[in-house]
Amino acid sequence: MHDVLRRTSATDADGYLTGPLGLRLDEEFIPLSAVHIPSSDLDELVPFGQRISGPQGIWLRLWPETLWVSGTPPQSQHSCVDISDAQTCMRLRGVEALHFLANYCTTDLHDAAVRSARVVRTQIGHYSAVLWWESTRDIHIVVARSLAQSFCDHMRSLALRHDPTNSTQNLRSVAPTAPNRRG
């Protein structure tokens, strides 16, 4: 008889981050697959650096010939590999979620192209991450499963030391014409 492997959490992320912002960090399971398609065919499905959400699920294109899919993959004869066990999806929620991450990302999350695409591959500290969002108050963060607990500890330490009233703590200044971060 075969033993059934049950998926266990990669982290202890299960609630509010201590600090002045009232952010919540949770781990959630989102099935992810990587579909390898030649870029000429992929350009017709999803433009590079874009996200498509719909009844088929979420399609993220952040690599030239690879599409991350949560849901139904596009009908193709190309290889599709389940990467769910290699990645951990975190969900950061709160009014200041995107603004908080913008202070610690290597990518300018307030850039017009990034805000319209609502998806980005970036570094948060020394962690490679993929971010996507429907609302600036609810951000999905995908990190390597082997680094997930360390990433959660890092997020906790950032939340503890983050002081939104201290302008010297902001690593990146926000332009006066930037959109309202609470929206």
DSSP string, the chain: -PPPPPP--SS--EEEPSSTT--EEEEE----EEEE--HHHHHHHS-TTEEEEETTEEEEEEETTEEEEEESPPS-SS-EEE-TTTEEEEEEESTTHHHHHHTTBSS-TTSHHHHHHTEEEEEETTEEEEEEEEETTEEEEEEEGGGHHHHHHHHHHHHHH--TT-GGG-SSPPPTTSPPTT-
Q: Has residue 6 got a pLDDT over 50?
A: yes
Q: Pick the more confident residue, 133 or 8.
A: 133
Residue 106 lies inside a defined structural domain of this protein: yes
pTM for the whole structure:
0.83
Q: How many structural domains is the chain composed of?
A: 2
Render pLDDT for 63-109 as a digit per residue (tens, 0 to 9): 999 999 998 888 777 888 999 889 999 999 998 899 899 989 999 99
> 50 and 75 in one domain?
yes
What average pLDDT does range 172-178 have in this prediction? 51
Residue 179 lies inside a defined structural domain of this protein: no
Residue 140 lies inside a defined structural domain of this protein: yes
Residue 183 lies inside a defined structural domain of this protein: no
> 139 and 101 in one domain?
yes
Residue 145 lies inside a defined structural domain of this protein: yes
Residue 5 lies inside a defined structural domain of this protein: no
> 38 and 22 in one domain?
no
> 134 and 99 in one domain?
yes
